[in-house]
Copies of this chain bind each other. A is one copy, B any other.
């Protein structure tokens, strides 16, 4: 991490380029080997965790600001990204949160000179989707570390970031029938078990294997490949890939895969 004083000076001098009182927070969902995770960071070894976020330069649209946060943190471009909700309670002020003392302990007493620390922030929430194996998590400017957490086992968050995650997950659940979520979370080639596990994780319920497979085949959104995946200890499952045309069409009209 660069020297804290010069970092702070740089941030202070940049503030005028950004819209005040507005931030972006991204819930970056990553899926791999049947685990659904989100990317979180923290500013020092003992602090609470936060979602990757950023600010909005005065000359760029909020969607682009969110894209920049996503690209910086994942190293990837063109990921699926969707605005889902804006958070604007009047107590969204870092300076007043119980976590502030440890922030000040890390960054020094001048930290509160930053507007986004001392003033109320309205945060625009986005969620993103990716196969997390492709990602090399990059800590933000102020971060001590940045890593994936299984959504079943999340750490303690600062401010309202837990609630932001919850709303993002709620949107994910709702959108699973109407957005290309499978396509964006899975690798290009995947097994039926992987796909079903993804649906079960997002919908938080068990699905019937035979009905699930049958429905997928009837709709024709995935294609069986000749390759099999080696998983060791068991019968080798066939790999599949999405038929993008059929899939996008199905999703546009809403598909119901869960029983």
Contacts and interface: CB of A to CB of B under 8 A. Distances in A.
Contact of A19 (B21, B56, B58): B21
A82 to B, nearest CB: 11
A118 B7 CA distance: 31
Interface string A112-123: 000000001010
A229 to B, nearest CB: 35
Interface residues of A, number: 20
B83 A62 contact: no
A90 B59 contact: yes
A90 B21 contact: no
Interface string A75-111: 0000000010110111000000000000000000000
Nearest to A87: B62
Interface string A49-63: 000000010111111
A187 interface: no
Interface in A199-233: none
Closest 7 CB pairs of A and B: A62-B88, A86-B86, A61-B89, A19-B21, A61-B90, A86-B124, A60-B90
